[in-house]
Structure 1
Amino acid sequence: MFKNNIKIAWRNLKKQPFFTFLNTFGLAIGMAGALLICLFIYDELSYDKMFVDAERIYRVDSDIKFGGAEIKASEAAAPMAEALQRDFPQVESAIRFRDRGSLLLRKSGTETNTKELQVTFVDSTFFDFFGINLLVGDSKTALTQPNTLVLTKTAAEKHFGVKDALGQRLLLNNTDTYTVTGVIDDLPRNSFLRDHSVFMAMSGFADSQSPDWGSHNYFTFIKLIPSANVADFQAPLNTLFDTYLLPWAQNFFPGITKESFLASGNYVNYHTMPLTDIHLHSSRQSEMSPNSTMQNVYILSFISLFLIVLACVNFMNLSTAYSLKRAKEVGIRRTLGSNKIDLVRQFLIESGLISFISLLVALIIAIIILPFFNDLAGKAIAIPFSNPIFWGIVLFATVVLGIFSGSYPAFFMSRFMPVKTLKGGGQSDVGGGNVRNALVVFQFAISVFLIVSTIVVFQQLRFIQSKDLGFTKDQVVLIDDVFSAGSQVGALKEEVLKLSQTKNATLSFYFPTPSSRSNGSFFKEGSVDQENAIQMQTWTVDHDYIGTMDMELIAGRNFSKEFSTDSTAVIVNEATLKILGVGPEEALGLKMTDDLGVEELQFSTIIGVVKNFHYESLRENIGALGLFLDRQPSGILAVRLNAGDFSSTIAKIEGIWNRFAPGQPFSYRFMDDSFNTTYDAEQRLGKIFMVFTVLSILIACLGLFGLAAFNAQKRTKEIGIRKVLGASVQQITYRLTTDFLKMVGISILISLPIGWFAMNKWLEDFSYRIEIGWWVFALAALLAIGVAVLTVGYQSIKAAVVNPIKSLRTE
């Protein structure tokens, strides 16, 4: 019987090629989109789960308020790891990372460097802690000695291959010599260490032995014993403040107590973050690798669900609409003895057959667009065809989808009364108009919601691009690793400035794009106590920094080579004045110090006030910042170019580079591109929204197109009569289109308030954000109406221009 049902189902699908195409293609698009999103979500949820005992590993985070600044740090003090392992029996082991940033490496005896972008110091227990095996070398001893390092497989192959790596000597940044003591496999793309390629021995980093509990610079991870409950560990963790941090602070503030510290509005709280939660739940001020958010996972999950539901709605709509054609078939079957269950089974088998055909088409679509999707999402996702669990889930989902999408049409058609259908009566009710209309409203409501979301995301990104940041990021090229020129750094800068296309240039490690960051606690002269501390960013710059960055001085002056005293001067931003409680002119001449615990304090004098500029993401408020003069600057060379042919100017700068730093890699980037990387997640989200909004509209239009065709066919005789009685093509088209536009209008009224609420919640993550204007909703509504008019209008015009003689002959 099942075989017979399959044959009948196949014949019915072949008899209705247009209907079959619309259903199959609509379902395939929805299934392909949902499949890709599900693979993306699975990848996001799998982060860091590959490490041994991942469920017992936690990072120690620090919440600090001091000196007017609130810091949400993912780092802890250098002595934290040792104290945790020594004082708490719940802690099985602990390790630290200290990010080093980028590094130039070359094999001893060679002249050409290779750049590694992510380098970190790490404790020697790193391999056992995370269960990482070495391809060559001994994990017990690999990082126990100073000046040793371990490379990833890819990094090792750049220099000497994996097998020959052990014992090789590398020169780091042309100065320090390190010995390779091991090679590990490349770390998984879904791990927090994915971008790191060089791991250096922490024992060779002097700062790691510091007893300083006030500086929080080390990513600290702990592994709890199997029987430990992390909730019970939280209270003991915060006793570290009383045991270690407060006694350390009393060396600099002899009268400080816990009560006075808290009474000043300050605090230091430690808490744990599960390793497997970091990627989706951590958005702290510094991370070892860029993270995503759980919010994005929820958004994409809803989009995936929307796509599937839209595809199913299409199937239900078209099936119930085309049920009119099959009404007599149902009547004959019922008359010949078929019961309701037999009919339901037959129609469900048809929907299941369409689902499996759609699955094949969906897999082909997914394979074709996967490379583009990976590029869009910044992933390296592969469809796991060899995984039986994948096939089990996909086939089960296809069966469920077939049953879900076919259930309403099956039960609907099985209820047809044989007498009415065989007599041709009751045809006006056969189509299930009210349910069908509700489903169309639902489809377009989702589409309009996605249109609103896409417009808002891109508006926020445009706002970020066009906002006055307090500096000019355009036409600035950043040249990295200028220390490669050694003592010729200054001469390199001067030669670049001689180029006619160069407007200005500056040397610094610190820029208002992803770059170095440094905090310090400062005090006004005469008030060196913790209640009056000012937590401030400290950036060292040269004389040309403010001019090159096109920043605005609102009081005082810039650094000048004419003033030798500028070595002890500082230029602060407006946010610093707010904490000091003074105006721009009042601030000039004030003295500040970050020296504590010494007999003779060294003060810096405020000589200027610079207008606030955004040095963090627009999600963050602008904090206090001070610019200090560096008389021997290095770091990054920022060059502001005149408008023109940038490629030829870059080529000339590279020629100068090769003269001053021969054999060293020439690495450059434009500041606006570097700035944009801060918002990679939002840009990707916007593009994903746009793609899947188009897909949802396409699915909705396929359904609307089919319904319009069916509606026009059902009203063929009515159209012929109207034309004979004098109705014009325009009037008939208007009549056929209006009914559908009413449904689209209802969907707009439903979706716009939901879109407004959802996107306002999304914008709350930004301290600086747009206000959603009325035109966003108007544009979304017009787009939906326009798409509907084009979709329905074609079928309406096609029906309206038919010769009325043919229409009236129609049965």
Structure 2
Amino acid sequence: MILNYFTIGMRNLLKRKGYTALNILGLAIGIACCLLIFQYVSYERSYDTFQAKSPQIVRLRLDQSKQGKLMWQSATSYPGIGPALKRDYPEVENYCRLIDDELLLSNDAKHIKFSETKGYYADPSAINMLDVQLLSGSAASALKGPNKIIVSQSMAKKYFGTDDVLGKTLLARGTRANETFQIGGVFKDYPSNSHLILDYMVSYATLVSELAGGGDKTDLANTAFNWYDFYTYILLKPGTDAQQFQAKLSGFTDKYINKTDYRKANNIKDRLYTIPFRDIHLLSNYNQEAEVNGSGSAVNFMFLIGFIILAIAWINYINLSTARSVERAKEVGVRKVLGAAKSTLIRLFMFENMLVNFMAIVIAAIAVVTLTPWFNSLMGRESAPDFSMSAKYWLIFSGMFLAGTLLSGLYPAFILSGYQPVAVLKGAFKNTSGGLLLRKSLIVVQFSISVILIAGTIIVYQQVSFMRSQKLGVDINQTLVLNGVQSISDSLYLNSLQPFKADLLKNKGIKSMTVSTSVMGKEIYWTNSYQSLDHKELGSGTLYRLGVDYDFLSQFKIKLLSGRDFSKDFPTDKKAAIINENAMVQLGFKNPDDAIGRKISNGDTMTVIGVIQSFHHLGLQKPIDPQLITLRLDARQAYSIKLQTADLTNTIASVKTTWDKYFPNDPFNYFFLDDQFNTQYKSDQQFGKVFTLFASLAILIACFGLLGLSAYNILQRTKEVGIRKVLGASTKSVVYILSKDFMTLVVISFVISAPISWLVMHNWLQGFAYRINISLWVFAAADIISVAIALCTISFQAIKAALTNPVRSLRSE
């Protein structure tokens, strides 16, 4: 029986090779796209699921408001919070704190040195809470006591050539003193699907010891409630409701933080919120995130597109199968006359449907395996060349595929098996109005989706282009940035910096150089609360501080709206400040001229000497912060060098030679500022590329269906076309008659899809601080494109039918 079904099914599929090819190809593309998208979604949603205790862990977010207005939201919080929570709340099982610790490490015996940026001071509890897999060393003692460090397997091999390094030492060169760290453990390279990149951890006791050595007598690293640079993770006891725990944090902040006279006087309130550990990557996008996180809305959108593409492919199959019902009707009539039962016919047609889907999934599997390395590279996952997907998404896909195969086969099977043999064999049979209505409805659905995808593609492209082309208010082109010096003490630093700068400026390829505590494209962590002494009623507000030398404003062509730049002619500039427009407004000044000469204070009084035009320090996804610029001649975090365009290779080589002369213990690391700044748009650009790719494929699949339907429709009307031509109809009028029904459906799809696409893309744009306005022409363009695509798809068959000699179509009459 199975062999008989197979033979009949293959015979029917080969009878109409064109329709079969369209069906199989459309389904194969749909399945392949769905699998690739599901792989991407599976990976993005797998972040931080490998930690055994991750369901019990939350990270704290700190929000600060002033006079009821939200000022900022930070992924970091105060170091005193963790110990106090564990002490006061029995539902807190443990906590761990992390704070950035960038180090210049060296193994002098092997003459190896690197600047390391992906590590943290960490509580000993971090090892178990974050599931750091130690290959050597004990979790109980690896981070116990000062000057202890644990390193990843890769990092151990980088410095020692082996991972058998327990008890060995690394030298950390610092601005105050050099430190020797003993390696207390080596851990397995931390998985990439984590919101943290962990190359090393330094014991928290080291931070305590360093602060004490600098004069701290209050144990700030354990007690402070005003230093918000610490990631605080809370391990809740099993059975604890995270939402109920969060509700208690309001009382906690009032008890420990908001009660201070300063906060009361300035009407400043802090609030703590929890975010589940596994949600951080996709749902947390606040100040001071450890890494650039993903976008939950983009992932959900792509997940939906995966369903849509597969649905479009099955819609095509249903349309083409039911459209051929007239051709299959006589076959059904004959089979029924010969005694075939309806159930037998249903099984036959379902088997044929399974054949088509089986061929499609085989082709799709080959395509997915072939395209996965390219697709992962497109998504920025070059380290994952092979296709992989979690069991959950395999289950979802399998359920979708089986349900889709069943449903897409059942409807045509019941339609075909239900024909009455007497009507069919008498020639009185024709397509039912219900079947026509279904096919028309499905075409409208397909092209409504197509219009939404086309409009979405245009808007995504516009937004990304807008962000990249928008004037930043600062000139970052042709700027080489050197990572700062770490090996020289503060007392000797200026003695090396000034000769270094003088030597660099002798190079004809270098226009200028400036030093600063941060550069554009990197988040500013240095913040202080300032108030205007002339507007004390406004209280204090957070300003983002940037320390610079005398050449910063001029080199980056930052526009002064009023006042002056820092100058060597004014020794008092050490107590001077330059503010941007946003800070001017926050401090209560009416205009730039009004701010000049005014005093601002955070306990340390400064005089405003200039107001600059606000510029974008970060990408246009984020608002411009109120900024305070102060003179900091000993800034060492970044050296920005403005280059001539000619002979960059030799100029950079010359810079390295000069660097090695003055800073031989520091590695020479550099980047181009415009390239670094544009990396902020990388995820949005990737989303735009992927969205465009799958939108195009969804439209292509819809076109397959439209092509098959139009070709079959024209085949059914061959004699009608012949009669019209004999009666004098022109080719143009025949093409119009054959196309108008389909074009009407495409126009209806536009009316339905335009408001939907506007709503979807409007919500997407809300994630950007600076965004485009959606123009009506976008939807008009989407409609024109969809009409053009449909017309091109249909017209080939229509023109071919219109040009056919009517004698050929009528000779059988």
**Normalized against structure 2, the TM-score is what?**
0.92
Q: How do residues 392-791 of structure 1 correspond to structure 2 at under 5 angstroms?
A: 394-427=397-430, 429=432, 432-483=435-486, 488-525=496-533, 532-582=539-589, 583-595=591-603, 602-644=604-646, 646-662=648-664, 664-791=666-793
Deviation at 1:341, TM superposition (A): 2.4
Q: How do residues 54-65 of structure 1 correspond to structure 2 at under 5 angstroms?
A: 54-65=54-65
Q: Distance in 2 between matches of 1:733 and 1:197?
A: 67
Deviation at 1:500, TM superposition (A): 3.0
* Residues 691-722 of structure 1: per-residue CA shift (max 9 Å, x gap): 11111111011111111221222222223333
Deviation at 1:667, TM superposition (A): 2.4
The alignment status of 1:327 with 2:329, answered yes or no, reads yes
Change (3 A) 1:760 1:395: closer
Q: Distance in 1 between matches of 2:26 and 2:168?
A: 59
Structure 2 letter corresponding to 1:361: I
* Residues 455-512 of structure 1: per-residue CA shift (max 9 Å, x gap): 1111111111122222123322222234468653333333333333433321112123
Structure 2 letter corresponding to 1:86: R
Deviation at 1:123, TM superposition (A): 0.8
The alignment status of 1:339 with 2:341, answered yes or no, reads yes
Q: Any conservation in 2 of the 1:6–1:350 contact (CA below 8 Å)?
A: yes
SS of alignment partner, residue 51 of structure 1: coil
Q: Distance in 1 between matches of 2:571 and 2:549?
A: 13
The alignment status of 1:273 with 2:275, answered yes or no, reads yes
The alignment status of 1:113 with 2:130, answered yes or no, reads no
Segment drifting more, 509-518 vs 769-778: 509-518
Q: Any conservation in 2 of the 1:119–1:198 contact (CA below 8 Å)?
A: yes
Q: Any conservation in 1 of the 2:550–2:631 contact (CA below 8 Å)?
A: yes
Change (3 A) 1:777 1:388: closer
Deviation at 1:77, TM superposition (A): 0.9
Contiguous gaps of at least 5 residues in structure 1? 596-601
Q: Distance in 1 between matches of 2:117 and 2:426?
A: 78
Deviation at 1:389, TM superposition (A): 7.5
Q: Distance in 1 between matches of 2:253 and 2:135?
A: 41
Q: How do residues 101-180 of structure 1 correspond to structure 2 at under 5 angstroms?
A: 102-173=102-173, 175-180=178-183
* Residues 323-348 of structure 1: per-residue CA shift (max 9 Å, x gap): 22211101111212223222222212
Structure 1 counterpart of 2:214: none
Structure 2 letter corresponding to 1:78: P
Change (3 A) 1:210 1:402: closer
SS of alignment partner, residue 76 of structure 1: coil
SS of alignment partner, residue 270 of structure 1: strand
Deviation at 1:227, TM superposition (A): 3.5
Structure 2 counterpart of 1:598: none
Segment drifting more, 128-137 vs 297-306: 128-137
Structure 2 letter corresponding to 1:215: W
Q: Distance in 2 between matches of 1:246 and 1:793?
A: 71
Structure 2 counterpart of 1:184: 187
Deviation at 1:246, TM superposition (A): 4.5
Sequence identity, in percent?
35
Structure 1 letter corresponding to 2:89: F
Q: Distance in 2 between matches of 1:360 and 1:383?
A: 18
SS of alignment partner, residue 408 of structure 2: helix
Q: Distance in 2 between matches of 1:232 and 1:434?
A: 53
* Residues 649-680 of structure 1: per-residue CA shift (max 9 Å, x gap): 43443444344445754322222222222233
Q: Any conservation in 1 of the 2:147–2:203 contact (CA below 8 Å)?
A: yes
Deviation at 1:609, TM superposition (A): 0.5
Structure 2 letter corresponding to 1:91: V
* Residues 74-109 of structure 1: per-residue CA shift (max 9 Å, x gap): 222111111111222111111100023x54332133
Structure 1 counterpart of 2:256: 244
Segment drifting more, 306-315 vs 137-146: 137-146
Q: Any conservation in 2 of the 1:111–1:663 contact (CA below 8 Å)?
A: no
Structure 1 counterpart of 2:246: 234
Structure 1 counterpart of 2:216: none
Segment drifting more, 747-756 vs 335-344: 335-344
The alignment status of 1:14 with 2:14, answered yes or no, reads yes
Structure 2 letter corresponding to 1:517: Y
SS of alignment partner, residue 535 of structure 1: strand
Q: Distance in 2 between matches of 1:396 and 1:520?
A: 55
Structure 2 letter corresponding to 1:14: L
* Residues 350-387 of structure 1: per-residue CA shift (max 9 Å, x gap): 11221111111111111121112212222355666798
Q: How do residues 185-200 of structure 1 correspond to structure 2 at under 5 angstroms?
A: 185-193=188-196, 195-200=197-202
Deviation at 1:69, TM superposition (A): 6.4
Change (3 A) 1:350 1:226: same
* Residues 167-188 of structure 1: per-residue CA shift (max 9 Å, x gap): 2222335643322221111112
Q: Any conservation in 2 of the 1:567–1:631 contact (CA below 8 Å)?
A: no
Q: Any conservation in 2 of the 1:59–1:275 contact (CA below 8 Å)?
A: yes
**Normalized against structure 1, the TM-score is what?**
0.92
Q: Distance in 2 between matches of 1:521 and 1:737?
A: 68
Q: Any conservation in 2 of the 1:57–1:275 contact (CA below 8 Å)?
A: yes
Q: Any conservation in 2 of the 1:98–1:121 contact (CA below 8 Å)?
A: yes
SS of alignment partner, residue 118 of structure 2: strand
Deviation at 1:434, TM superposition (A): 2.3
Structure 2 letter corresponding to 1:505: M
Structure 2 letter corresponding to 1:142: A
Change (3 A) 1:545 1:64: same
Segment drifting more, 355-364 vs 35-44: 35-44
Deviation at 1:625, TM superposition (A): 1.1
Q: Distance in 2 between matches of 1:148 and 1:83?
A: 25
Change (3 A) 1:492 1:422: farther
Structure 1 counterpart of 2:794: 792
* Residues 109-145 of structure 1: per-residue CA shift (max 9 Å, x gap): 3444234341211111211223332111111111112
The alignment status of 1:92 with 2:93, answered yes or no, reads yes
* Residues 40-67 of structure 1: per-residue CA shift (max 9 Å, x gap): 2222222212112211111122111248
Deviation at 1:441, TM superposition (A): 1.4
Change (3 A) 1:586 1:424: same
Structure 2 letter corresponding to 1:782: I
Q: Distance in 2 between matches of 1:117 and 1:181?
A: 19
Q: Any conservation in 1 of the 2:171–2:180 contact (CA below 8 Å)?
A: yes
Segment drifting more, 671-680 vs 118-127: 671-680
Q: Distance in 2 between matches of 1:166 and 1:44?
A: 34
Q: Distance in 2 between matches of 1:294 and 1:392?
A: 21
Q: How do residues 351-366 of structure 1 correspond to structure 2 at under 5 angstroms?
A: 351-366=353-368
